[in-house]
Structure 1
Amino acid sequence: MQISSPNNTKERPDNLVERIYQQLKNDIFEFRLLPGDRFSEGAVAQRMEVSRTPVRQALYRLEREGYLEVYFRSGWQVRPFDFNYFEELYDVRIVLELAAVGRLCQLEAQSHPLLESLKATWLVAESDRLDDSKTVSALDERFHCALVEATGNGEMARLHYEITEKIRIIRRLDFTQEPRIAATYEEHGRILSAILQRRTDNAQQLLKAHIEVSKKEVRKITLHMLHVARQRAQLKSVNP
């Protein structure tokens, strides 16, 4: 187990909790903390040179979000990957987004501010496309959230965002390969064009296919990255 250490500076308690939370989350996302790794609050506090109270608050926040599990007698554990769980979340996401696209294709207004914003991001010349994986990952997430938000159904948008948060740990890996970035621009462009042209069936088919491909890709990439991370951890334990 390897946990990065934040800057040891005086700061407000809530800011300190947020800093520890973000650092631990990054360690999980970057596989410095591997699924199944166990650790104690004391070990984290000592490594980060902070007290146990803000560490505990950060850990419970990560536990509520599904990244950690707590064992009251043996500390904390990074939650093992359960691909069946993630696939169920993807299935619910597809249902919500298909419903959203159906509503958007029935809009009476000629345009919608959120759709206009998406056009400016995705319907661009190839030379104007971004290639930074983290930036494109954030924009991809925003694309799908905006489709649901544009329906005007706040509860639907809330449920969708909760699912988005839960799958972010693996979904962001879809953009670690350049071909997937290019494919995302192409696929988002076709989905958006179909919505703007009120071609409901076509837009829904394109959207479903887009998410299904992404789901398969992130599973494959996640398994590969976990394998590489575990090999590194084994080598480090042999040659500390």
Structure 2
Amino acid sequence: MKIIAPTAPFSGLSSGAPSLADRAYGQIKQMIFDFVLLPGDRFSESDLVDRLQVSRTPLRQALQRLQREGFLLVFPKSGWQVAPLDFEVFDQLYDLRVLLETHAIAKLCEAEERPVLKGLADLWLVAEAERHPVQAMVDRMDEDFHSALVRATGNEEMARVHDDITERIRIIRRLDFTKPARVQVTYDEHARIIRAISRRRTDEAQRLLRAHIEQSKLEVRHITLDMLYRARREA
């Protein structure tokens, strides 16, 4: 079986110049991610019109997009609400993510040709002094690493489901890289996973991946709860 190298890293961004609705979408989503808008907070469109300096039509389009993605709830005649964080749902999404990625690893270990591994090794099997210092960049690189494993199988439906999971857990997952120590751990753990796949050690690679994702899940839950506590105290 031949494993397909992804043609481009996953970015989650549309091409072309952003519209007013796109910009409003990005601004509101960042406010949710930064806990400026807290889980459970209610607000009206009027609250954001002046704040974002955008008219109601593109604002409403942005809000509806965030609603479809599960970040917002809408209540007719009473406004919008930031969706409460549901860690039970996050746990289910992480479990599904593990199933997809361990399956992808099994396929990679069996494959005759595996061009994706060279690209991953070039990024992650580097000396400590060559590691990327920008935590926000490592956040995106981490998503691309896990996405590449799944996309390399050539199964487009599996990649689509994995992309959806990535989008839905991003609100908490990205917090794993707010601590410099976690950035270094991510490099080390990704390197071990790549080496195990390169040596076709399926069980070892899958075990390393499960441990890597489980530890990240525990870290982001702790960080999220701490950030929410501090944000509510300062509100």
TM-score, length-scaled by structure 1: 0.89
Q: CA deviation at 1:73?
A: 2.0
- Post-superposition Cα deviations, 1:129-165, rounded to whole Å, max 9, x if no partner, equal 1121101100000000000011111111111010000
Counterpart-to-counterpart distance in 1, 2:218 and 2:82: 23
CA RMSD, 1 decimal: 1.2
Q: Larger C-alpha radius of gyration, 1 or 2?
A: 1
Match of 1:131 in 2: 133
Counterpart-to-counterpart distance in 2, 1:48 and 1:174: 28
Match of 2:197 in 1: 195
Instruction: Report the more deviating stretch, 67-76 or 45-54.
Output: 45-54
Match for 2:39 among 22, 35, 42?
35
Q: CA deviation at 1:108?
A: 1.2
Counterpart-to-counterpart distance in 2, 1:48 and 1:122: 38
In the alignment, is residue 211 of structure 1 matched against residue 199 of structure 2? no
Counterpart-to-counterpart distance in 2, 1:171 and 1:190: 21
Counterpart-to-counterpart distance in 2, 1:50 and 1:183: 41
In the alignment, is residue 185 of structure 1 matched against residue 182 of structure 2? no
Match for 2:97 among 87, 93, 99?
93
Give SS of 2:81's match: strand
Q: CA deviation at 1:43?
A: 1.9
Amino acid at match of 1:116: K
- Post-superposition Cα deviations, 1:18-70, rounded to whole Å, max 9, x if no partner, equal 01000000000011110011111122113223221111100000001110000
In the alignment, is residue 107 of structure 1 matched against residue 111 of structure 2? yes
Match of 2:222 in 1: 220
In the alignment, is residue 174 of structure 1 matched against residue 166 of structure 2? no
Give SS of 1:69's match: strand
Higher relative contact order (CA 8 A, sep 6+): 2
Amino acid at match of 2:29: K
Identity %: 57
- Asked if 1 retains the 8 angstrom alpha-carbon contact of 2:107 and 2:153, the reply is yes
In the alignment, is residue 45 of structure 1 matched against residue 70 of structure 2? no
Match of 2:123 in 1: 121
Counterpart-to-counterpart distance in 2, 1:39 and 1:133: 31
- Post-superposition Cα deviations, 1:83-124, rounded to whole Å, max 9, x if no partner, equal 001110000000000100000000012x31x22111110000
Q: CA deviation at 1:14?
A: 6.3
TM-score, length-scaled by structure 2: 0.91
Counterpart-to-counterpart distance in 2, 1:74 and 1:210: 42
Unaligned runs of 5+ in 1: 1-12, 234-240
Give SS of 2:132's match: coil
Give SS of 1:190's match: helix
Q: CA deviation at 1:232?
A: 1.2
